[in-house]
């Protein structure tokens, strides 16, 4: 129990004690452990004297505290020595003997104790402050500060996961003020050539966090994660980035036919992604309320869910739904509810289902994960004779991935419908802001995209034939 040192010029509380208590506090023989154990609390505090200024104060609460009364620099003072039984009778006598000796040597035990407490508090504050400025703590402060301006919660999740995996094991507990070029190199070297895209993102995130720390005054000097310093950091040039592995468009009918034999909601989400040319996060997050049926069946993806720069607003993306896409939505409803439905029922189903997700996870609380779609393709590639190559791969032999179907669509347009090139760019929600022409072309070509997406859906469903001379060489499935 902590005690405050007190000046004893104030009246001794024992003077107000009842006669019985006065006799107890005026006893001359030293205390024994039995005396201490049997000292019962009373209505007011009283003291049991041990001698030489040492006494045991017994409080009404039952607490028993050692006190020493001595003279320091000519002034009588009381000091607390700790509570019994944490401080035993023997320990209290030793403490009292030491403090009396220091007082006789013209010391000031009370002031020394206060100085020690102040030093301990200062050390504690410094430790807490230092711990609060570790790289991990500063990174979390930066993410919380910037997250409201990011498009969605997933961005913050990606920041945290990449730092947790690649940066925190090496830098997390380090004071942010001490992180230098060698520390950044240790984080980046395992990623720079093997995972160049990850390495670039981690570098950018390290740079942002360290700049934030500098602005707050928590570090000084150059930013060791500044891109302009790469040449001086000893990092080799990164290999050129490769496009996502894309399945040749000629194989789409066969792929979709095999996909239709897969059970579960994830194959349907992948099929919908193919038919709409959406990105994975956009397709997985679609809700029934995103559909509209005034005129041509339409899906609208809100701008905050579209890919774009965090600092620039992104327009919503409208896309026409083909008959094949509507049939996929009806199958997704049946998969979730067990009630049979067809493409013609989708407008009614959309009103019935409201704001619920079309492709939810198993708990129904969130969209399917990106890995769920990738796992479907992985299993389809594993479904082959032993020793045979992966059946669904790009011309370089790489296994196709979900994002690659956007490339399949774009190549199909180039090879079979080149006049629809501009409409295809709008279907992919690509922006052309780099030229004067691009800044003034604001139509989303929705009407032109209706027959384009219908033709794409028919092709994927195996209901159309390629135009003569358009089948790319080597497109037959190996």
- The pLDDT tens digits of the residues spanning 248-290 come to 999 999 999 999 999 999 999 999 999 999 998 899 999 999 9
pLDDT of residue 67: 86
**Residue count (the chain):** 478
**DSSP 8-state class, residue 134:** B
Contacts with 68 (C-beta within 8 Å, 6 or more apart), sequence order: 53, 54, 55, 78, 79, 81, 95, 96, 99, 100
Q: Which two tokens stand for residue 338?
A: 């067990």
SS3 assignment, position 58: strand
pLDDT of residue 230: 57
Cα–Cα distance list, 77 to 6, 67, 87, 342 (Å): 6, 10, 20, 92
Task: Give residue 109's pLDDT band: very low, low, confident or very high (50, 70, 90).
Answer: low
Among 375, 353, 374, 360, residue whose Cα is nearest residue 284: 360
In angstroms, rounded to a whole number, what is the distance separating the alpha carbons of residues 29 and 50?
7
In angstroms, rounded to a whole number, what is the distance separating the alpha carbons of residues 320 and 446?
7
Q: Please check the confidence at residue 14 and state whether its pLDDT lies above 50.
A: no
- Tokens 């005034």 belong to 294
* Largest Cα–Cα separation, the chain: 120
Strands ordered across the beta sheet of 54-58: 6-7, 75-84, 64-72, 54-58, 46-51
Least confident of 233-242, 244-253, 453-462: 233-242
Strands 291-292 and 6-7: unpaired
Kindly state the average pLDDT of the residues 19-31: 54
Q: Does domain 249-460 have CATH number 1.10.443?
A: yes
- The rounded mean pLDDT for the chain is 81
> In this structure, what are the phi and psi dihedrals at residue 159, rounded to the nearest 5 degrees?
-60, -50
Listed by start position, the domains of the chain span 6-124, 135-233, 249-460
Contact by Cβ (8 Å): 70, 60: no
Higher pLDDT, 187 or 124: 187
In angstroms, rounded to a whole number, what is the distance separating the alpha carbons of residues 127 and 413?
63
Q: Please check the confidence at residue 70 and state whether its pLDDT lies above 50.
A: yes
Task: Give residue 53's pLDDT band: very low, low, confident or very high (50, 70, 90).
Answer: confident
Matching CATH topology for 6-124 and 135-233? no
**DSSP 8-state class, residue 433:** -
Higher pLDDT, 121 or 295: 295
Task: Give residue 412's pLDDT band: very low, low, confident or very high (50, 70, 90).
Answer: very high
pLDDT of residue 21: 40
Least confident of 5-14, 86-95, 229-238, 319-328: 5-14
Q: Which two tokens stand for residue 195?
A: 């995972």
Cα–Cα distance list, 81 to 55, 210, 214, 394 (Å): 10, 48, 46, 80
pLDDT of residue 297: 95
Q: Please check the confidence at residue 212 and state whether its pLDDT lies above 70.
A: yes
Kindly state the average pLDDT of the residues 152-161: 86
Sign of torsion over alpha carbons 202, 203, 209, 210: positive
CA torsion 452→458→463→465, rounded to 10°? 30
Sign of torsion over alpha carbons 302, 305, 307, 310: positive
> In this structure, what are the phi and psi dihedrals at residue 69, rounded to the nearest 5 degrees?
-105, 120
Task: Name the burial class of residue 434, with classes exposed (0-12), middle (13-18) and buried (19+) by CB atoms within 10 angstroms of its CB.
Answer: exposed
Contact by Cβ (8 Å): 191, 167: no
Q: Please check the confidence at residue 31 and state whether its pLDDT lies above 80.
A: yes
- Residue-wise over 168-193: b if at least 16 C-beta within 10 A, else e? beebeebbbbebebebbeebbeebbe
In angstroms, rounded to a whole number, what is the distance separating the alpha carbons of residues 358 and 368?
10
In angstroms, rounded to a whole number, what is the distance separating the alpha carbons of residues 46 and 54?
13
pLDDT of residue 12: 42
Kindly state the average pLDDT of the residues 349-371: 91
pLDDT of residue 474: 42
Least confident of 217-221, 404-408, 467-471: 467-471
Q: Which two tokens stand for residue 1?
A: 């129990």
Contact by Cβ (8 Å): 471, 250: yes
Task: Name the burial class of residue 464, with classes exposed (0-12), middle (13-18) and buried (19+) by CB atoms within 10 angstroms of its CB.
Answer: middle
Q: Please check the confidence at residue 247 and state whether its pLDDT lies above 50.
A: yes
pTM above 0.75, yes or no: no
Q: Which of 39-43, 50-54, 238-242, 431-435 has the highest mean pLDDT?
A: 39-43
- Tokens 């407490």 belong to 117
- CATH number (3.40.50.300, 3.30.460.80, 3.30.160.390, 3.40.190.10) of 6-124 reads 3.30.160.390
pLDDT of residue 475: 44
pLDDT of residue 252: 95
| Residue 85: cis peptide before it, omega within 30 degrees of 0 | yes
SS3 assignment, position 76: strand
Higher pLDDT, 157 or 306: 157
Least confident of 29-38, 167-176, 226-235, 283-292: 226-235
SS3 assignment, position 80: strand
Q: Which two tokens stand for residue 304?
A: 């905050």
For the domain made up of 135-233, the CATH class stated in words is mainly alpha
């Amino acid at each position: 129990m902590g005690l405050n040192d007190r000046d004893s010029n104030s009246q001794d509380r024992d003077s107000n004690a009842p006669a019985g208590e006065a006799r107890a506090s005026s006893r001359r023989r030293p205390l024994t452990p039995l005396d201490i154990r049997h000292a019962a609390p009373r209505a007011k505090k009283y003291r049991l004297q041990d001698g030489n200024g040492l006494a045991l104060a017994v409080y009404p609460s039952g607490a028993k505290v050692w006190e020493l009364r001595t003279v320091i620099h000519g002034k009588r003072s009381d000091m607390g020595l700790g509570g019994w039984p944490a401080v035993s009778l023997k320990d209290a006598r030793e403490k009292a003997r030491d403090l009396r000796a220091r007082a006789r040597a013209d010391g000031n035990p009370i002031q020394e104790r206060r100085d020690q407490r102040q030093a301990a508090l200062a050390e504690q504050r410094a430790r807490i402050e230092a711990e609060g400025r570790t790289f991990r703590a500063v990174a979390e402060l930066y993410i919380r500060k910037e997250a409201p301006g990011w498009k969605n919660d997933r961005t913050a999740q990606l920041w945290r996961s990449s730092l947790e995996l690649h940066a925190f094991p090496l830098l997390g507990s380090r004071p942010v003020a001490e992180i230098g070029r060698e520390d950044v190199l240790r984080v980046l070297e395992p990623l720079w050539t093997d995972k160049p895209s990850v390495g670039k993102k981690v570098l950018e995130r390290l740079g942002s966090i360290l700049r934030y720390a500098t602005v707050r005054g928590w570090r000084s000097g150059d930013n060791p994660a500044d891109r302009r310093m790469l040449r001086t950091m000893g990092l080799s040039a990164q290999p050129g980035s490769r496009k996502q592995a894309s399945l040749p468009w000629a194989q789409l009918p066969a792929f979709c036919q095999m996909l239709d034999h897969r059970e579960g909601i994830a194959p349907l989400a992948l099929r919908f992604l193919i038919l709409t040319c959406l990105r994975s996060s956009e397709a997985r997050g679609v809700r029934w309320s995103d559909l509209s049926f005034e005129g041509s069946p339409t899906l609208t993806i809100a701008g905050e869910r579209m890919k774009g720069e965090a600092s620039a607003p992104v327009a919503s993306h409208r896309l026409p739904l083909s008959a094949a896409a509507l049939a996929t939505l009806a199958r997704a409803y049946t998969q979730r509810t067990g009630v049979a439905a067809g493409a013609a029922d989708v407008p009614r189903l959309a009103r019935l289902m409201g704001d619920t997700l079309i492709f939810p996870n198993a708990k129904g609380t969130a969209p399917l994960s990106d890995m769920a779609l990738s796992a479907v393709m992985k299993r389809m590639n594993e479904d082959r004779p032993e020793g045979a190559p992966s059946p669904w791969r790009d011309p370089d032999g790489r296994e196709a991935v979900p994002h690659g179907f956007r490339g399949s669509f774009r190549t199909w347009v180039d090879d079979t419908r080149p006049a629809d090139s501009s409409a295809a760019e709008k279907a992919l929600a690509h922006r052309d802001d780099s030229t004067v022409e691009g800044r003034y072309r604001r139509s989303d070509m929705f009407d032109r995209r209706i027959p384009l997406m219908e033709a794409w859906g028919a092709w994927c469903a195996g209901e159309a034939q390629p135009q003569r001379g358009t089948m790319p060489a080597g497109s037959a499935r190996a």
